Amino acid sequence: TQLLEQSPQFLSIQEGENLTVYCNSSSVFSSLQWYRQEPGEGPVLLVTVVTGGEVKKLKRLTFQFGDARKDSSLHITAAQPGDTGLYLCAGVLGGTSYGKLTFGQGTILTVHP
Amino acid sequence: DAMVIQNPRYQVTQFGKPVTLSCSQTLNHNVMYWYQQKSSQAPKLLFHYYDKDFNNEADTPDNFQSRRPNTSFCFLDIRSPGLGDAAMYLCATSDRRDYNEQFFGPGTRLTVL
């Protein structure tokens, strides 16, 4: 059973389009992180959300944490080829003391010029 | 710049020949993690050190061992690599002030011949 369901698994779009990636769970997370990973490199932390209902913006990227802290979304506006990569959501389950991450399955995003 | 460094970036070994991967960090973080990541999948936690305390995941094979001689360094030993152990190995760190955020190294790509 996957604790954190990430969708879609694959996304292939044209430059300039908008997209949203979702992470959903039946469990409550004390925080949720979004990472981006390029081929052959380690994941790079994009954002951490900790408060239910929180919205954070990073240039063209908007991150939202659900009110109940069970889900999150990543929205990219006007996608560019440089946004191509593997996007991972990862959460820390409530009650975990040392920050063990539960990962979603990942979304492979390809943005075509 | 403070960072997580992994050496080597690419490692080729033979079936059954022991191999050691290394990780160092200049972040002075007290927790260090080792993950295994197979192609386009989410990272899978193998084990972590909370300071000097070693914590093994229940499904990590005995073939994988780890050492942390000091705060800055952590090693992953694979005693008898099999073909199924070919993967990207990621080291990550987090700090007692905010365990929610993990910072990953660039990874070591292991090939088993």
Chain A window 9-68: which residues touch B at a Cβ cutoff of 8 Å? 30-31, 33, 35, 40-45, 48, 50
- Flag whether pLDDT at B99 surpasses 80: no
**pLDDT above 70 for B1:** no
Contact check, Cβ <8 Å, B42/A106: yes
Count of CB pairs separated by less than 8 Å, A with B = 64
Each residue of B21-70: pLDDT tens digit?
Answer: 999 999 999 999 999 999 878 999 999 999 999 999 989 999 999 999 99
Contact B45 A101 (CB under 8 A): yes
The answer on pLDDT for B93 being more than 90 is yes
Q: Is A78 left (phi over 0), alpha (psi -120 to 50) or beta?
A: left
The answer to whether A78 and A14 have CB atoms below 8 angstroms apart is: no
Q: Are A104 and A4 in contact (CB under 8 A)?
A: yes
Q: Is B104–A43 a contact, with Cβ atoms under 8 angstroms apart?
A: yes
Q: Using CA of residue B8, residue B46, residue B33, residue B79, what is the dihedral sign?
A: negative
Low-confidence ranges of chain A (pLDDT < 70): 1-2, 95-99
